[in-house]
Structure 1
């Protein structure tokens, strides 16, 4: 008996010692911090549901879970002022993961988890965003110019003051702009129509190409630019920011100021205004006559956020007046040939702040109301209503009593409504379903005395979308989305009877004919397009610092107003444009993959992409036409089969704690398969290198940047031959619209100094010099490149105050 008891005790001791010695191999550590300001959250509880193990964050927000045995953890994160968060974590080695929580606010959509070893782990397509520093830096410039600093984004320009973003070679209606959750409706069809939006009004600007973009439309094959202002916090506070910028080129500047008032009751109010004024810009050799700019913007926001429900009212007004290079307005064909062959503009006047014709004026109003309610722990509904009015006027050089009368006067009114329901299921699934509708009324004022470029029309559109995301753990995710849209056009437009017959419309669209006049025909075109869009993509964590993503995107887009109906002189571009009623919907099949790593001291991201586009719609020069208003190139809209491919690369290397090197490169090609030639107006190869150094004392930061843009080697031949009279002979001369300008290399310098005036007043002083070496160059994506060089050196001083 004694021997049996000894053996039993020995076995118990053996197994107890063995189990005690078997420590679980892994640990999980990190921080829990506030989403907005990065401050630590004290007292958050992190509990592993599988085992019951738990840890609490200290005053620095740090937690440590030791002796973790399981490879898949069901982690629950809770805090008294935050909604409980549940996550699955795949643990195959010791890991450090930081969680960012929306402190103070408990709404479903405002709890965000970030894994510090790699951001955006749950996105199947790489997203790019402007930093707060970049938004400040481009305060006096346009949204498109600021976005041009991102990898894969170029800028289509009309002169230097008018610019719109180009993403993966696509622009216009293929790139959506969403402000405060509502898509901007501002006649984006024009290459010279810059977005009527003020960059200074927003704190967050990002380019999205994933499934979440389907919420705002399925026609954005290039991507969606999403802009959001501040997120209100329920605390008693009054704060703001003021930006002051002065520039040497144009001898002007900009001022922007914003104030935000919040209360602990959830009430908030904000007001923001911007004013810009510049005179004629200049190249290294001459003044660019009539290239001044005036702009004034204002917006207000008022609302209340009550944890599970809230409402908001928003109003904004954007107004600008922009001069068009005077040398671009040509009187006859001989002058056009001289202008294209000349190294300098044919019109050069002394510097002036005066803005004369040709010019454009724009006013854009937006009124928005939204309400949301969290009707269960994991479900929320939201409704947005928006009214936008866009007034656009273009002025030609006219004489007599019509000198102040616009040659183009368009008013576009848009009513839109968006309703959506968000739902989270278990740990893994997120869904969003919604419907939206648009009603647009375009009025083209006939009192201009000029043939209307865009006719009167009504456009009705409705759509429905469903998106989902499956994220089983921190190592991967899958997202998908579907969207169906119906677009209806009801148009009234006059054609000359000759043009109607010559284009074959009398045979194709006899039902459109409504009233016959001696030389004209009143028509009522009516179209209906049904489009389907979809997205499917994945994200996978290949290692502690290595991630890969992949996605397939189907995008269908109905032709816009200009592509279908434009018919006449587009004054801001100094071109005659003709639409095409035979155009069908455009369909894009796009595949994107990426691989990225973020591990000190080196990080990089590479994203190649490929797309086949059926009925790719483009505009190209066709001939030169002499009119009573002068000689102008004629551009025609057409459709073709296109193949698009390219890549984006960005990388950074920390050479030391105070020295960093950054590089980014973009390349894109689009081929016209039907014509076996490249597509016109595609960005050439470009690369950017930047070296940054932070001085030990006072944290002064200096950046030297080089921007290289190659000559576009792949371009179609759209040159035309025109007949001119030389003496008593008619001679054919070649008009070269095709040959791209030479490659160029620019050097830029940025110096910034942090300021601390008082405990409640801080800021930054910045010196920026663009094109230090005064390089003379022309840009392929600038429609004014035929007549003048780009802007020369520009020095700017900027003061930013946070109060």
Structure 2
């Protein structure tokens, strides 16, 4: 113990003694004038600072070779490799640009700006998604072209990337994979947007980077950054939603001093049943509590951080239109879910290389409550006697206090991700990695949908980024092995080799082309292999197939992008061939009045893309017009269309950005989203009608009591249009999506 303590003290002292002061100045490349308040950030160190009004900055950094990213509004973001220590007075020149500032892409292995990336990755700030009026994170990500959501009311949403969802889309948060029984249609993200800084979307197979379950893509949630060196800040916000008479509040504080840094954030969200212009959707109400915390330390040759997230959600499961009220306590049936996420991320820096170690532990405690048959008579008596609705709700509340969960599952997942960033060899950047997880599912309730089982994953990968004068190439290969041991049943093993090859080049002046070819695989999940029971959320009896093989796909992506000072154009097309696609199919039988669905396999094909433009005419840089069209078609080899394929849509947005007297970062927007009819449906689906949704918003920030206050006001579905989204799980019952909603948000920063 004494030796360990001595080692820790010596490492700490070494870190302090080896720090160097890196100073410099940011200037305009044309005028040579200083650029005030530019952002200086080291993505590998997750540390940075802000230049002063004279463009000068100073920061304590350890020895080594690091990537430096410098950005400022109105200028092109600059990324460069530097070596510390270096001479003082480092000058960084930025070029003017009407294009918005770039961010470092974290979800891809080499952490580059998107303009440098071989793979096309979409990135959006959570702040932007909330300003558009999104009620939840799941709704917010649908503002990204090519991304949709399978929804159960407002409370439950799961990402759909180019027509693929559930276990085909992997979600990462705090740098670790999120496991929360995501196979189910009514199992949501389980993540609150408070404390999330941005979201990145990889559209297409990412098995090379993330292994099984990333066959369709990755939703990567970046947690908020720690405070800059020797700085601190606090903020609080509140959002009110008129439609649900709901609110979302959160408050946080973060600080950094002498290499140590910490943050914490808490939030509370409550919504009553959402309203259409005909009725409120009974039991679409929910309550969510969320707490996030982080602790980090950084020295010269290493850094480490720990993060923790606790999310508790009590979610009503709507079944039919009944009681009309604005109460927020869910009725039966409802879910009560606790989701714990622990993560640690460590980096050891060598002279010209580094070692990253990410460990994660996720504990998902899922309880689903439902009414037992002995309550039915009492309910019918209540209806016959026409008792007061509020009293009726109170009886439900009493029931939920005494009812044991019908379905109770605990999912415990330990994951690891170790990557060695080799020294650069000429034009080559190379990463070697090992990833894996151990997962245990255990049942405690009277009903069992999926059995107890243990899953073990192991994968090894190698990938390189090669820089040539006119083209960048990224390639890699990976091997994965998965073993699933099912209690009282069978043990199944799956393995697969996968690879990826991509090119980025400027084919014409200002035209960038990205061509990527990647394979992916997905082992069948526990529900597909061994489910045998009624899935209450979907009102169907599901029967697994122990003989299922793994899915294997090959996807080709072509992304073209044109940029100048006036306009940006993009065209992203894809073709995705999935062998042995697993899907649910009704067999015409019924068990306990529920239709029986069985898991089958067949080859499938998906194709489509996203196309759009962003017009910002110079010198009218304050005016923005954005338009995007997205389409996807999915078919089985027997010519049946795949289920849950989103309808084609066109989104047009006009946005004006301005500073008005003491109000800064101000904006006004008008958005029209046109969703086309979806007639290409699976045999057990119904077609969906076309509709248009109009949204408007305004926002800005100003000084209040010597601190910044930001205010946003937006209205979604402004015309109170009646519509049913094709991916709504309430669609078979003809239940409408949410009507007009006005959102007022206030954030105060200390």
* Common topology (TM > 0.5): yes
Q: Secondary structure of the residue that 2:292 maps to in structure 1? A: strand
Unaligned runs of 5+ in 2: 1-28, 42-47, 59-69, 376-398
**Alignment check: 8 A CA contact 1:588 1:613 kept:** yes
Find out whether 1:800 has 2:747 as its counterpart: yes
Q: Which residue of 1 aligns with 2:341?
A: 366
Equivalent residue runs for 1:33-432 within 5 Å: 34-35=40-41, 39=51, 120-137=114-131, 141-209=135-203, 214-232=208-226, 235-263=229-257, 265-327=258-320, 345=321, 347-376=322-351, 378-398=352-372, 399=374, 404-432=403-431
| Residue in structure 2 matching 1:533, options 498, 501, 508 | 498
**Alignment check: 8 A CA contact 1:488 1:526 kept:** yes
* Aligned Cα root-mean-square deviation (Å): 3.4
Q: Distance in 1 between matches of 2:611 and 2:493?
A: 40
Q: CA deviation at 1:622?
A: 3.9
| Residue in structure 2 matching 1:687, options 625, 637, 650 | 650
Equivalent residue runs for 1:669-680 within 5 Å: 669-673=633-637, 675-680=638-643
Q: Distance in 2 between matches of 1:663 and 1:163?
A: 25
Q: Distance in 2 between matches of 1:491 and 1:389?
A: 19
Aligned length: 658
Q: Which residue of 2 aligns with 1:483?
A: 478
| Residue in structure 1 matching 2:729, options 783, 789, 801 | 783
Find out whether 1:454 has 2:429 as its counterpart: no
| Residue in structure 2 matching 1:463, options 455, 459, 464 | 459
Q: Distance in 2 between matches of 1:431 and 1:639?
A: 37
**Alignment check: 8 A CA contact 1:155 1:164 kept:** yes
**Alignment check: 8 A CA contact 2:97 2:565 kept:** no
Q: Which residue of 1 aligns with 2:703?
A: 756
Q: Which residue of 2 aligns with 1:715?
A: 681
Deviation by residue 1:25-60 (Cα, 9 ceiling, x = unmatched): xx999999624777586599xxxxxxxxxxxx9x99
Find out whether 1:667 has 2:631 as its counterpart: yes
Q: CA deviation at 1:370?
A: 3.0
Deviation by residue 1:401-436 (Cα, 9 ceiling, x = unmatched): 896122211001111222111123245211111112
Q: CA deviation at 1:714?
A: 1.0
Q: Which residue of 2 aligns with 1:88?
A: none
Q: Distance in 1 between matches of 2:495 and 2:588?
A: 34
Q: Distance in 2 between matches of 1:98 and 1:470?
A: 27
Deviation by residue 1:607-627 (Cα, 9 ceiling, x = unmatched): 000011100112234436261
Q: Distance in 2 between matches of 1:159 and 1:533?
A: 37
Distance 1:780 1:132, change over 3 A: closer
**Alignment check: 8 A CA contact 1:693 1:703 kept:** yes
Distance 1:366 1:80, change over 3 A: same
Q: Distance in 1 between matches of 2:81 and 2:490?
A: 59
Distance 1:620 1:794, change over 3 A: farther
Unaligned runs of 5+ in 1: 1-26, 45-56, 64-74, 86-93, 104-108, 115-119, 328-344, 493-522, 719-737
| Residue in structure 2 matching 1:575, options 511, 516, 540 | 540
Q: Secondary structure of the residue that 2:140 maps to in structure 1? A: helix
Q: Secondary structure of the residue that 2:423 maps to in structure 1? A: strand
Q: Distance in 1 between matches of 2:110 and 2:50?
A: 14
Question: What is the TM-score of this pair, normalised by structure 1?
Answer: 0.76
Find out whether 1:585 has 2:560 as its counterpart: no
**Alignment check: 8 A CA contact 1:539 1:549 kept:** yes
**Alignment check: 8 A CA contact 2:287 2:328 kept:** no
Bigger-Rg structure (1/2): 1
Question: What is the TM-score of this pair, normalised by structure 2?
Answer: 0.81
**Alignment check: 8 A CA contact 1:778 1:789 kept:** yes
Q: Distance in 2 between matches of 1:529 and 1:83?
A: 55
Q: Distance in 2 between matches of 1:130 and 1:582?
A: 41
Distance 1:460 1:422, change over 3 A: same
Distance 1:270 1:795, change over 3 A: same
Q: Distance in 1 between matches of 2:118 and 2:75?
A: 30
Q: Secondary structure of the residue that 1:215 maps to in structure 2? A: helix
Q: CA deviation at 1:752?
A: 0.9
Q: Distance in 2 between matches of 1:531 and 1:436?
A: 14
Distance 1:712 1:228, change over 3 A: same
Equivalent residue runs for 1:731-770 within 5 Å: 738-759=685-706, 761-770=707-716
| Residue in structure 2 matching 1:602, options 542, 567, 573 | 567
Q: Distance in 2 between matches of 1:190 and 1:528?
A: 22
Q: Secondary structure of the residue that 2:116 maps to in structure 1? A: coil
Deviation by residue 1:584-629 (Cα, 9 ceiling, x = unmatched): 00001100001001212111111000011100112234436261xx
